[in-house]
Amino acid sequence: MADHGLRERKKQATRLLISNVATGLFIQRGFEEVTVAEIAEAAGVSKMTVFNYFPRKEDLFLDRHADRLAELTAVIRDRPAGVSACEALRRHQHSLLSSGHPLSGAIAGGPGFWWVLTSSPALTARWYEQEREIATAFAEVLAEESGEAFRSRMVAGLLTTAITTIFAHAMGRIVAGDDAEFVREEQGEVIDQAFDLVEHGVGDFPG
């Protein structure tokens, strides 16, 4: 009933249509330069409907967040026995990279995605807000398992910082014009460097 009624299918279709239209416009002209009214018109729908599906304008572009959050949380929660959270995430990042997944940092719906993201402060702010949501989710999982609230929050924060920084690094280089293939080749090392710091500490860097 909830699943394959005509109603539900139409909703999903509308949602997808709006999202696609919006993303297309954003990549063509930049986030701030496209108004919600315009998106609505281009999608043949009213402005109110757009906000019905996507509470904030930013969510029109960053609409994969829920999936990503669930995936990352599962990586930690369902990791094999004997593997630490840190190690599980490290492996996950490597596997994203080798499977050429958009979220590995390199490649990602073309360079347009990064350009749009970095071109708007509002959008980047929302992006980082999503990272915080990930940290919060990690902290819950870790606290559930360890019972140590503060330590869990810290570790969650550190792990999220690794993911974010790895990401931002690749993004920065691609936006700066570096060859995507080249960035991709070096990305494995970047991942290890980041997780090594989290796992073994920063020591007395920088001397």
Partner DNA sequence: GCGAAACTTTTACCGAGTCAAACTTTGAGC
Partner DNA sequence: GCTCAAAGTTTGACTCGGTAAAAGTTTCGC
Of 150, 33, 158, nearest to 86 by C-alpha is 158
Of 108, 134, 171, 194, the residue at the interface with a copy of itself (CB under 8 A) is: 194
Q: Is 124 in the site for DNA (CB under 7 A)?
A: no
Of 18, 50, 60, 162, the residue at the interface with a copy of itself (CB under 8 A) is: 162
The mark string for 32-71 relative to DNA (x by CB under 7 A, - otherwise) is --xxxx------xxxxxx-xxx-xxxx-------------
Of 145, 179, 182, 185, the residue at the interface with a copy of itself (CB under 8 A) is: 145
- CB 131 to a copy of itself: min, Å: 9
Both tokens assigned to 2: 């909830």
5 touches, from DNA, a copy of itself, none (C-beta below 5 to 8 Å by class): DNA
Q: Which of 58/131 has CB closer to DNA?
A: 58
Using CA atoms, how far apart are residues 107 and 5, in angstroms rounded to an integer? 37
Using CA atoms, how far apart are residues 51 and 66, in angstroms rounded to an integer? 17
152 touches, from DNA, a copy of itself, none (C-beta below 5 to 8 Å by class): a copy of itself
In the DSSP assignment, the letter for residue 80 is: P
In the DSSP assignment, the letter for residue 9 is: H
The b-or-e profile of 49-70 (16+ CB within 10 A means b, else e) is ebeebbeebbbbbbbebeebbe
Site for a copy of itself in 64-123 (CB under 8 A): 84-87
Both tokens assigned to 27: 């990549």
- CB 126 to DNA: min, Å: 9
